[in-house]
Amino acid sequence: MSFSSLLLSDTLLSVLTQKGYIEPTPIQLAAIPAILAGQDLMASAQTGTGKTAAFTLPLLQKLTEQTEACQPKVLRVLVLVPTRELALQVNKSIAEYGANTAVKSTVIYGGVSIDAQAQKLADGVDIVVATPGRLLDHLRRGSLSLSAIDTLVFDEADRMLDMGFMDEINAILKQLPPQRQTLLFSATFSKVIFELSKRLLQQPIRIEANQANSTADNVEQIVYAVDSDRKPELISHLINKGQWQQVLIFSRKKQTVDTITQKLIAAGVEAKALHGDLSQGAREHVLDDFKMGKIKALVATDVAARGLDIIALDYVINYELPFIAEDYIHRIGRTGRAGNKGKAITLYSEDDALLLEELESLLDKRLPQQWLAGFEPDLTKVEPVARKNSKSAQRQRAKKRALAGSKRGR
Ligand code: AMP
């Protein structure tokens, strides 16, 4: 099936040809006609499935048809995203796919000057890509109105809720016209997302670009059992021996991210850290360097790495397992993008035993441990159990989850 059979305009098709896209990805095949037909959508899709183009292309097409008749510009499309990185990326994709159209898009997120953003809004735009907090700031200042929005997109809805944006989302929803098309994209589908979608969507088309809560088939998942103190050494061994071009390494804590980065640099690997303590400018700089291939290893926390779009990333390493099992799916979704094969390697030590059990039950799949020659764990050593993963911490987390579930049910 080709893009032209999806009834996209020649203007858009020519950009896709330039970008070297040969055929639509499964989510594009399913979503583009539904969006063009004005239907609501509930799509289960990770980053890497081509989801951005799946909503951007039909929206650009619809806007082009409207804007030809409509001057000056009116804000019609709102894309809500959880993080500034994703906001920048989505806005960049819109600019690229819409390069030959008159559609104008802008991006608003916190941590930078609000006045410059307000000026862009005042100049007139068709699309705003925004993080919820900063969007509310603009609404309070009156620098934009949502009264003419006809399409609302939620990108990475699960992340937005995980990051605690429910109140902001509710405040934004109050200012949106009730008659609109709503498109909801989420990598994972929990009960709380279903609750939100019931409130937001009218007779939505359901698309599963990947099975809900599953990992992409083209990602090989490996778990190496290794002593905690040998993990950095194992990573530099994998990079050097395998002659890896680039790798994204995840850790739960900023401090650990810094330590891993320093150890990799000391072992001769060009590495940089990406976490919330860096300024917005510094984060963008690190990301650009990684995208341009100036850095071999990017070491990041889950929050900082959310929504990163790095083409053809072959390897992802989990320095330890994330506390939230769904984060594992997000982490490894950074590899095996748009049909490429990828490898996700988890460095496992005894204190992650319970997290591995939780993950296996979420994935409904066993992740057998392996030993890497030369890095076999020292079985005579007793690993200290991290306080956060002690039995009592596990019980507390289970209780928190149960409480959150009952709150959602109210
Ligand atoms: P996304 O899931 O939106 O983050 O997209 C993942 C990557 O796939 C991006 O780098 C896109 O440029 C790329 N991509 C999207 N659609 C296609 C397609 N139909 N063919 C090839 N690459 C694509």
CA of 139 to the centre of ligand 1 (A): 32
pLDDT given for residue 231 in this prediction: 95
Is residue 32 classed exposed, middle or buried when 0-12, 13-18 and 19+ CB atoms within 10 A define those classes? buried
* Ligand 1: nearest atom to the Cα of 338: 8
Among protein residues, the one with the nearest Cα to ligand 1's atom 19 is 24
DSSP H stretches of helix in 143-245: 157-162, 166-174, 191-200, 231-241
Q: Whose alpha carbon is nearest atom 15 of ligand 1?
A: 50
Nearest protein Cα to ligand 1, atom 6:
48
Nearest CA to ligand 1 atom 5: 50
Q: Which residues line ligand 1 (CB under 6 A)?
A: 21, 24-25, 28, 47-53, 309, 311, 337-338
CA of 88 to the centre of ligand 1 (A): 16
243 and 253 Cβ atoms separated by less than 8 Å: no
Ligand 1 atom closest to Cα of residue 24: 19
Give residue 123 CA to ligand 1 midpoint distance, Å.
Answer: 30
Distance of CA 267 to the CA centre of its chain: 30
pLDDT the model gives residue 393: 59
For the CA of 307, the nearest atom of ligand 1: 4
| CA–CA separation, 351 and 384 (whole Å) | 7
- Residue nearest atom 16 of ligand 1, based on CA coordinates: 50
CA of 93 to the centre of ligand 1 (A): 10
47 C-alpha vs ligand 1 centroid, how far in Å? Answer: 9
Instruction: Supply the residue whose CA is at minimum distance from atom 18 of ligand 1.
Output: 21
Question: Residue 352 gets which letter from DSSP?
Answer: G
Helices (H) and strands (E) in the chain, counts: 16, 14
User: Structural domains in the chain?
Assistant: 3-208 (3.40.50.300), 219-406 (3.40.50.300)
CB atoms within 10 A of CB 203: 6
Whole-angstrom CA distances from 391 to 79, 83, 264, 348 are 41, 33, 32, 18
Amino acid identity of residue 338, one-letter, is A
Both ends of the chain: CA-CA distance in Å? 45
Using the atom order of ligand 1, give the atom closest to the CA of residue 23: 19
Q: Are 25 and 49 contacting, i.e. CB atoms less than 8 angstroms apart?
A: yes
> CB–CB of 109/134 below 8 Å?
yes
Q: Along the chain (410 residues), what's the average pLDDT of each consecutive run of 10 residues?
A: 88 92 89 95 83 96 77 90 90 96 95 94 96 96 96 92 89 95 89 88 84 63 92 94 92 94 95 88 86 91 68 85 86 72 90 89 84 84 56 55 42
Q: How far are the Cα atoms of 34, 48, 65, 151 from residue 61, in angstroms, in the given order?
A: 13, 22, 6, 13
Read off φ and ψ for residue 313, nearest 5 degrees: -80, 120
Nearest CA, atom 17, ligand 1: 50
How far apart are the C-alpha atoms of 226 and 75, rounded to whole Å?
Answer: 53
Both tokens of 378, joined, read 């020292």
Whether residue 18 contacts residue 41, with contact meaning beta carbons closer than 8 Å, is answered with no
pTM of the entire predicted model: 0.64
48 CA distance to ligand 1 centroid (A)?
A: 6
Question: Could you tell me the distance, in angstroms and rounded to a whole number, from the CA of residue 50 to the centre of ligand 1?
Answer: 4
| 395 CA → ligand 1 middle, Å | 40
For residue 53, the CA-to-ligand 1 centroid distance in Å is: 7
Which atom number of ligand 1 is nearest to the Cα of residue 3?
Answer: 19
From the alpha carbon of 45, which atom of ligand 1 is closest? 2
Overall residue count recorded for the chain in this entry:
410
What single-letter DSSP state applies at residue 209?
S
Q: Ligand 1 pocket: which of 19, 89, 94 to mutate (most atoms <8 Å of CB)?
A: 19
Query: Helices marked H in 20-131 — which ranges?
Result: 26-36, 51-69, 84-97, 114-123
